[in-house]
Every structure is written in structure tokens, then in C-alpha cells.
Structure 1
Amino acid sequence: MSVIVTAWVTEGTWPACVDAVRMHAPEDADVLLLHVSGLDVPGLAHAAYAGLLGRGHPEHDPGARLEDLEAECAARLLDAAARRLGRPCRREEREGRVEREVVAAAAGTDLLVMARDGDPARLGPRSLGPAGRFVVDHAPCPVLLVWPEAAPDVTTLPPPPPH
């Protein structure tokens, strides 16, 4: 039975995640490259068009074009990640609440690889954004958390509490 590794790939941090899989996952691991598109940007465009410009011409709704562009970008990102991985893998694109979709995709996974999505300049809790924090707190499997670039120096640790 092979190990199942899911790598959450996002714009800007995907190379670090793919490199971590290459370094830490067994060669025979079943690797899933996961990208999740949020619904917020196309949803806002749909709502703005309907509310401000009218409902009479759905063919002019910019939300549909944004959905198409997002799907194209996700496919290109997953293709680039698969090329960088350099071994067989599966690819999956999901839509929805990003953090919840990542947690759901990690069900049945032996390892989730993800990159920090917050402040990259200093160590500490702010190095995780809201989505990353949610995933780390709720993942149903072990998580390998990587820095998208070189980790900051330990001098960037927050000061100890005053008590």
C-alpha cells in the first residue's frame, strides 16, 4: 500500500510545496497536486453586474469570464507543478471555500504538504494567513509546513510575553 501525499499548490508558493514532495515523499507515493479556486472574485463580479448593470444580458456577465480565466490559470499551474515534480501524479482542481476544500481533500491522505501563506518576513504565528491557519488547525492528517522562500532569521521571533 503506497503513501498518499497531497500537495496544496497555490500561486506564488507552489514550487516550495513541489520541492518538499520531491524531497520528503517516497518515490512510489501516490501524489495529488491540489489547487482550489475560491468563489469570491467571480461571485463579486456576478453580483456587481447583476446589481449595477442589469440582468438583461447574461452573456455580458464578467463573472463568467473570470471563472474561465481562473480555470485556465489553475490548469496551467497544475501542469507546471506536475512538470517540476517530474514523476507520475494526479491533479485536482476544486472550487469553494479554499480552506475547507483543502481540509476535505486531505481526508484519507497520509501527508499534506503546504506552504506558509502569511507574513514571509518573520517567524511566528503571522507567517500563516487565515486559510493556512485553518488548514493546519483542522487537517485530518500530518502536515508538512514549508516556507515559500528561505526561512527568516531567528532574530525575527516575536518577543516573549511580558508576564
Structure 2
Amino acid sequence: MRVIAWLVEGTWPACVDAVRAHAPAADDVVLLHVSEPAVAGLGHGAFAGLLGRGHPGHDPGDRMEESGERSATALLEAAAGRLGGACSRVERGGRAEREVVAAAEGADLLVLARDGDRSRLGPHSLGPAARFVVDHAPCPVLLVWPEPAPDLATLPPPPPPHHD
């Protein structure tokens, strides 16, 4: 069984725990992290446009890229340690939602955490990236709460009755 766990800063422990709880017999676990190059691109652009073009060694975009790479490596190492079993670690770059969907091709299960408003139940608990992945994943999806789920009292009220 091939399981992909999409790991994002702040919610990755819940995904790793879900793999351990719901797919303990998986023989191929992939811990996936996606870095968006647009973040460092902002630093490069700001430097080129505003801070001067003659000092390439001072480009903050370079430092942002290096910092992002170190952070992703540390996150994947921590996740592998928490999983406590065999896994592969994959770092991809690009639009997160598209990279996750592409990585899930051929998988038996994709695990991801809610990334929106987690204070109440409902569709707003999914941000745009997770919504895209849930809607387009080419395999079954296990969607987890990064912390205990909100109380059922947070459900929105039912729609008013329809009268003809």
C-alpha cells in the first residue's frame, strides 16, 4: 500500500499520526513537502527593483531559498522520526496544490490536514490549497483535523424549509 502524507508547517504531526493510526501496514510511505518558489521570488524581485541591482551577494531571495530548504529538511526529518518506520522523504517545488495532486498519482491513500478555519465545522475548514487537492486527488483522501475537531454546536444552521 502506497501512502502519501502531505506535510505542511504547523499541521504535519496530525498527518504523520494519521498514517500511523490508519495505515500501519503501509509498505510505501512518502512524506511530501512542497516549497513554493514564489516566496523567494518576492525577495529577488524586491531586491532587483527597489534595493539596487549592483550587489548580487546581498540578494535576500538567496537567503530565503536557503532558509526554506533548511526548514523543509528539518520538517521532513522530524516527521520521519515521529513516524518511526520506513519512509521516503520528498521535497517538491511549485504550486503546492498541483504538486500534491501530481505526487498522489498511483497512491492508495493521500493524507492531508485541514488548512482553513479550524474553529468550527464546515467547508471553511479547508483553505484553497486543500480544497483543490480534495477535489482533484486521483486516489482516496484522508482529511484530518490538526487538533481535536470543533464541537458539533459549531455546525451551521440548516437551510430554511423550502415552500412551493
**Is TM > 0.5 for Structure 1 vs Structure 2?**
yes
Letter in 2 for 1:71: E
How far is the alpha carbon of 1:58 from its aligned partner? 1.5
- Please state if 1:84 is matched with 2:82: yes
Structure 1 gap segments, 5+ residues each: none
Aligned to 1:51: 49
* Partner SS for 1:109: coil
Aligned to 2:97: 99
Question: Aligned partners of 1:27 and 1:81: how far apart in 2?
Answer: 18
* Partner SS for 2:67: helix
* Partner SS for 1:63: helix
Q: Is 2:8–2:33's contact at 8 Å kept on the other side of the alignment? A: yes
How big is each residue's C-alpha offset from its partner over 1:67-96, in whole Å with a ceiling of 9 and x where there is no partner?
000000000000000000000000001111
Aligned to 1:129: 127
* Equivalent of 1:139 in 137, 140, 146: 137
Question: Aligned partners of 1:25 and 1:73: how far apart in 2?
Answer: 27
What stretches of structure 1 move > 4 A for 4+ residues in a row? Answer: none
Aligned to 1:114: 112
Question: Aligned partners of 2:54 and 2:133: how far apart in 1?
Answer: 41
* Equivalent of 1:5 in 3, 6, 9: 3
TM-score in terms of structure 1 length = 0.96
Letter in 1 for 2:89: R
Superposed counterparts of 1:25-64, under 5 Å: 25-64=23-62
Task: Compare CA radii of gyration and give the structure with the larger one.
Answer: 2
Letter in 2 for 1:127: S
Letter in 2 for 1:48: A
Letter in 2 for 1:35: H
TM-score in terms of structure 2 length = 0.95
- Please state if 1:22 is matched with 2:16: no
Letter in 1 for 2:138: P
Letter in 2 for 1:20: A
Question: Aligned partners of 1:98 and 1:158: how far apart in 2?
Answer: 29
* Partner SS for 2:47: helix
Question: Aligned partners of 1:109 and 1:11: how far apart in 2?
Answer: 22
Of 118-127 and 56-65, more deviation after overlay is shown by 56-65
